[in-house]
Chains A and B, each alone.
Chain A
Amino acid sequence: MLQTPNPLGSVRPASSERPPAISVRGLKMGYGTRVLLENASFDVKRGEIMVILGGSGSGKSSLMKNIIGLYRPMDGDILIDGTSIVRARGQDKASLQRKLGVMYQSGALFGSLTVLENVRFPLDQFTDLGLGEKNLTARMLLRQVEMGYAEGFMPGALSGGMLKRAGIARAMALGSDILTLDEPSAGLDPITAANLDRTILSLREDLGFTFVVVTHELQSIFAIADRAIMLDPVSRSIIAEGKPSELCDHSDDPRVRQFFNRQSDAAMHKAKP
């Protein structure tokens, strides 16, 4: 059996023998009677950075919330490391959700806890480690995301980029190696956004993490994405899947080219023969 070392230290079967990190099969999702997406199927491979993109209101964040089990899809299935999160219940579902690390758009840190206490929170709740061990782990996680200096800060004192980094550190605390990030670059200045992109890439390269990133920031998409899927609110489907550079230049769908080339509707109409 071919064995390749995993960056996290385990000696595991080659990735082709493991299930994808996330599998979406025939997904139909929406709110009430309003359908946002139907018959959607895609895989996120281990160690891949997959970007979910689309215009405003296309259902990107809703798709992410279906994947992490916050919302229940109308139809279809979602598998996390080969196990259905849609059919899971109670403690089984909770355990499956803890396999995923989630970073929300504004970090979602708990305002009454320091940054260190926030990162330590999952360890406090779900492990029997002593306080010293938990503190050491949390401090090391903060250093991995270049937030070691902010251990004692309260979330109210952090900038947007710092909140997101701290959110990523907390998402990794229980050893989750599948991270979902909701609009990580939203509201950040270009330098901070570039630094956050670099953090995401180094976590993938050094630790073999898998990322699902919801964003419509083109520069980040081109910087970090291995593959992207594009949602369309009109057709309520995935209208593109592939490498961003290929989609930008060679997609047959004008909506996809318009998105990646950041063209206005007026410019598109002008360009039509």
Chain B
Amino acid sequence: MSGLRTDDSVKVVLEGRITAYTAAPIWKDALDTLARNPDRPIVVDASRLEYADDVGIALLFDLLRRDRPPQAKVEMRDLASNLAALVEAFDPKDFAQPPPGRPQIGILEHIGRVAAQEVAYVKTIAGFLGQCAGALWYAIRHRGLVRWGEVVSVATEAGANAVPIVLLIGFLMGVIIAFEIGLVAQQFGAVIFVVNGVGVAMLRELGALMTAIVFAGRTGAAFAAQIGTQKVNEEVNAIQTFGLDPVHFLVLPRLIAAALVVPLLTVLADVIGIFGGALVMATFNVSFVQFYNQLLGAVDTGDFVLGIVKAAVFGLAIAGIGCQRGLATGEGATAVGLSATSAVVKSIVWIVVLDGIFTVLTS
């Protein structure tokens, strides 16, 4: 492109090919020429313009639509007739308004919307909890009608396949707890009482808690993604049109599987965690025999049962939340991912809340 000043007008020459890949400097130069000459007429010589794609057409249109004083209009000369027809197909009035931006929401409106969403969520959850309670009660009274094959399948995937990671996490928890308390207890000559700490912590709290967190990340997300995908694919609609209840069909097997599997995994975590603690105590010159005897005196059946009951409740909560998030999946490519993420976050929050409730009730 070149610009030449004559007596009263400025000539802009467009030549060659104007395409998406070549238009940028040409467009900028042309607009700069217009800006530098606000009161002079502009003559655009398009006689040597060989080719223009969609961006080229947009450039020509942009030059012609500019709002300039009557004596300083832009005139296009010798533009090929077919190009001119393409440019004239657009009305400058259609582009007078700027393109719509993304909707901006103020902070107060955002807070209000979030609050309203949470209230709606609590209502949805209350209804869902009622449906789950009804489904569980139904399963207790009609055990033969439960899809036990699905329960076993879910339990295998959620339970058996989670054993390695639960063993690893449980072992590390036992080691860390024993080591951290041991370092402090050693200063007071009370190393032997670390066994009490490891035993009580693992059986009452950490065994169930860490197992539940692993279960939430691994299986809670999977439940949400599986059911969410079924929702997006309209499989849930298909279940309903057969007269089946999605809660009985999809959610109940997962609730039962989780209630069975999480306590079993917790037992594994407890055992391996206590073993890990014993290994660390050996470095503090507490033998396995001493560890065992001290442990038997420190914990009782009630601690173990409490941990298992917590684990079952955590399992039900994680499965329920995962399934509810799945059933509430929206539409679009990101919906399933959002459901899975939401399931994990909400599960972890509720695990901690329920743990707190248990602590208050059993203190």
Contact = CB atoms under 8 A, between A and B. Distances in A.
Nearest to A110: B333
Nearest to A127: B20
Interface string B46-60: 000111111111110
A155 B61 contact: no
A69 B283 CA distance: 63
Given A127-B21, A129-B24, A172 B331 contact: no
Contact of B86 (A9, A126, A129, A136): A9
Given A114-B102, A128-B24, A140 B54 contact: yes
Interface string A165-206: 000000011110100000000000000000000000000001
A175 B58 CA distance: 11
Contacts of A174: 20-21, 53
A118 to B, nearest CB: 13
A128 B28 CA distance: 10
A148 B90 CA distance: 11
B51 to A, nearest CB: 3
A5 interface: yes
Interface stretch (B93-101, B133-141, B216-224, B343-351): B93-101
Given A5-B80, A127-B21, A206-B86, A175 B331 contact: no
A33 interface: no
Given A11-B50, A140-B90, A151-B100, A5 B82 contact: yes
A155 B334 CA distance: 12
B23 interface: yes
Contacts of A139: 94-95, 99
Interface in B219-252: none
A78 interface: no
Interface in A128-180: 128-130, 133, 135-137, 139-141, 143, 148, 151-152, 155-156, 172-175, 177
Contact of A156 (B20, B86, B101, B331): B331
Interface residues of A, number: 38
Interface residues of B, number: 38
Nearest to B90: A140
A8 interface: yes
A212 interface: no
Nearest to A175: B53
A127 B24 contact: yes
A9 B331 contact: no
A241 B350 CA distance: 64
Contacts of B102: 114, 152
B19 interface: yes
A11 B16 CA distance: 11
A72 to B, nearest CB: 26
Nearest to A177: B53
Nearest to A131: B99
B22 to A, nearest CB: 9
Contacts of B61: 136, 140
B304 interface: no
Nearest to B18: A9
Contact of A152 (B62, B94, B99): B99
Contact of A123 (B20, B57, B86, B331): B20
B72 interface: no
B332 interface: yes
B99 A135 contact: yes
A173 B86 CA distance: 16
A9 B99 contact: no
18 contacts: A9-B57, A10-B52, A111-B333, A116-B100, A122-B20, A123-B55, A127-B21, A127-B23, A129-B24, A133-B24, A136-B61, A140-B58, A141-B54, A143-B94, A155-B332, A156-B331, A173-B54, A175-B55
- Complex A-B, nearest 6 residue pairs according to Cβ-Cβ distance, in ascending order: A175-B53, A152-B100, A10-B51, A9-B83, A128-B24, A137-B58
Given A9-B57, A10-B51, A152-B100, 10 more contacts: A9-B83, A11-B50, A116-B99, A116-B100, A128-B25, A133-B27, A133-B58, A140-B54, A152-B102, A207-B86
